[in-house]
A and B are shown apart, each in its own frame.
Chain A
Amino acid sequence: MRKPYRWKSFLPNYLILTLFLLVVFLPIFGVLLSSFKTQTEVIQGPFHLPREFQFNNFVNAWTTGRFSDYFRSSIIVALAVVSVSVFLSTLTGYAFGVLSFPFQHILYFLLLIGFMTPFEAVVIPLYHFMYRLGLTDTYWALILPQIGLSVSFGTLWMTGFFRSAPQELIDAAAMDGCSRWQMLWLVLWPLARPAVLTLVVLIFMWTWNEFLLALVMVQKETLRTLPVGLAFFQGRYTADVPRLAAGSIIVAGPIVLVYVLFQRYFIQGLLGGAVKG
């Protein structure tokens, strides 16, 4: 008999949470709905259902809106940045967390600076540097700096993991005659799964959503990433809500999908470990 009583006592809490959740969801839902409407239906109001779902908006954005090109760029850049950054961060984190070497503290501090650095601070010389190397208007200009920035966060993150790895395990591996390289990949790496997954989803999100670097480094339309593509698309079709909505869904879709699948890791990572679970 206690159960219904308990449920009721939670009711005010659910009401408050639902209210604030609606403030988040309603605009997003409105955009989703608009992406299936015609321009005339949009004007009738945000939550009127479309008479007929217009999948054409997506086809238009994908082909004439060139979102297929933007999508390809975003995927290439994100995959390259995530895989290389996670691999390199594992190595650097291992060095700081398990090995010991000269100038350790200075080098760690040096990397810490990068973690706090906004792209605004580096984008001007970076552009001219890339231009001299002939790398502007190539994916390299988007990938290399993003790896640099990701490695600085990744090093802090992975160092935290490797420092917490039990010393007995490391000693046991040494007793068994593991080399340092084998210890990393055969003993510690399998334990690193949660830490690595968090790192993967965070770097993926930051790279996918990155705007300033992609805006500055690439002029060629086919090389633009999704966020930059959408920003210019909006400049061209200011009032064409269905098309813009469809474009927005294409940009946000993959990241929301990854978020839904791995939300625990996202939230844990973004709250900086302040929340367990």
Chain B
Amino acid sequence: MVGRTLWPGESRLKGWVYLFPGLAIYLVFVFYPILETFHASFYKWDGFSSNRTFIGIENYRNLLGDGQFFKALSHNLIFLIFYCIFPILIGLVLASLLGRRPLPGMSFFRAGLFLPQVLSMVVVGVMWRWIYNPAFGPLNLFLKSVGLGALNRSWLGDFDLALPAVGVIGSWVQYGFCMVLFIAGMQRIPKELYEASELDGAGSLRQMIYITLPGLRAEFGVALITTIVAALRVFDLVFVTTRGGPGDETLVAAFLVYRSAFQQNRIGYAAAVATVLTLVIFLVSFLILRVQSRQEE
């Protein structure tokens, strides 16, 4: 820590006094349960009976073997396209179209584009269920009114379309965030870099590749972590829009945890899924932070 010292005669334990209440609540209600989830993943237990048996890595073996887990995980990976790749691409293209001049009134647009970030995903889900409603949803009404009524679908009930339909909601939530992030980032890149490159005869594509993209490294890090973790964690949205259906076509890892633990009473199995999901999230966040700090050196 930077240059902070204790006073002469001050107890080294004083810091612990300030730390204690917050740390205690954290340890009891967050940290201990993390360890306990890992622990529980080695047992077979129905959640209420007193007979809880140690079965080693059986839960993990089941999870690798039953197809359900991989199906859920593959849906999370497809959500990466919608939560992460689309929003980041949209954000980048738009930020570069807008250029680097500060725009009067930008704070209004920024606030508006950011709005989906603060809405409860339950509200977002209810809203899009209405939009996708097969009988009177605005999407089908719109298609019909422009003569494309043949395209009308039960979007969230369709085996092939439900997953991308839920994914689109994710893009809707995330793209404004990425746009705002990149627009702000571009305005921080020193304009001398662009002027110098113009003198050297670099076109706008070259400027994009050699100046803009490297200059946005920090923003990429923030955008990647936020959107990837959001795609891996999806729960509320699926609960509200499809509950994993039709069939298991929109089943995601977090919903599998909930369903196994609280509807099917398979505590050990659910804990194993939760453990893997948490490790993946930790790993991804850690890797991105690592790559970033290495590039900054």
**Contact of B5 with A100 in the complex, beta carbons under 8 Å:** yes
> With A92-B23, A124-B261, A275-B180 as given contacts, are A45 and B141 in contact (CB-CB < 8 Å)?
yes
A152 within 8 A of B: yes
A212 within 8 A of B: yes
**Contact of A110 with B31 in the complex, beta carbons under 8 Å:** yes
When distances are taken between beta carbons in the complex, the residues of chain A under 8 Å from B161 are none
Residues on B lying within 8 angstroms of A by beta carbon are 1-7, 10, 12-16, 18-19, 21-23, 25-34, 36-37, 39-40, 47, 90, 94, 97-99, 101, 103-105, 107, 109-123, 125-131, 133, 135-136, 138, 141, 172, 175-177, 179-181, 184-185, 218-219, 222, 229, 233, 235-236, 239-240, 253-254, 257-258, 261-262, 267, 270-271, 274-275, 277-278, 281-282, 285
When distances are taken between beta carbons in the complex, the residues of chain B under 8 Å from A118 are 229, 233, 254, 277-278, 281
When distances are taken between beta carbons in the complex, the residues of chain B under 8 Å from A102 are 12-13, 16
A169 within 8 A of B: no
When distances are taken between beta carbons in the complex, the residues of chain A under 8 Å from B185 are 274-275
What are 29 A-B interface contacts by the 8 Å CB criterion? A17-B103, A24-B113, A24-B115, A25-B112, A27-B128, A27-B131, A31-B130, A43-B136, A46-B141, A91-B19, A91-B21, A96-B19, A99-B14, A100-B6, A101-B12, A101-B15, A116-B281, A120-B277, A122-B34, A124-B257, A125-B36, A125-B37, A125-B40, A145-B33, A148-B28, A241-B136, A251-B123, A252-B120, A255-B119
**Contact of A92 with B285 in the complex, beta carbons under 8 Å:** no
Q: How far does the alpha carbon of A197 sit from the alpha carbon of B37 in the complex, in Å?
A: 34
**What sequence of 0s and 1s flags, for each residue 86-100 of chain A, a beta carbon within 8 Å of any chain B beta carbon?**
001101101111111
Q: How far does the alpha carbon of A90 sit from the alpha carbon of B125 in the complex, in Å?
A: 35
Q: How far does the alpha carbon of A17 sit from the alpha carbon of B113 in the complex, in Å?
A: 9
When distances are taken between beta carbons in the complex, the residues of chain B under 8 Å from A60 are none
Interface SS of chain B: helix
Interface SS of chain A: helix
Nearest-CB distance from B285 to chain A (Å)? Answer: 5
**Contact of A209 with B31 in the complex, beta carbons under 8 Å:** no
When distances are taken between beta carbons in the complex, the residues of chain B under 8 Å from A99 are 4, 6, 14-15, 18
**Contact of B12 with A125 in the complex, beta carbons under 8 Å:** no
Closest to A141 in B: B29
Option from A10, A18, A129 in Cβ contact (under 8 Å) with B33: A129
**Contact of B176 with A101 in the complex, beta carbons under 8 Å:** no
Beta-carbon contacts under 8 Å, A145-182 to B: 145, 147-149, 151-152, 154-155, 163, 167, 170, 174, 180
A259 within 8 A of B: yes
When distances are taken between beta carbons in the complex, the residues of chain A under 8 Å from B175 are 20
> With A248-B126, A259-B118 as given contacts, are A113 and B14 in contact (CB-CB < 8 Å)?
no
> With A148-B25, A151-B26 as given contacts, are A17 and B15 in contact (CB-CB < 8 Å)?
no
Closest to B279 in A: A121
When distances are taken between beta carbons in the complex, the residues of chain A under 8 Å from B177 are 270
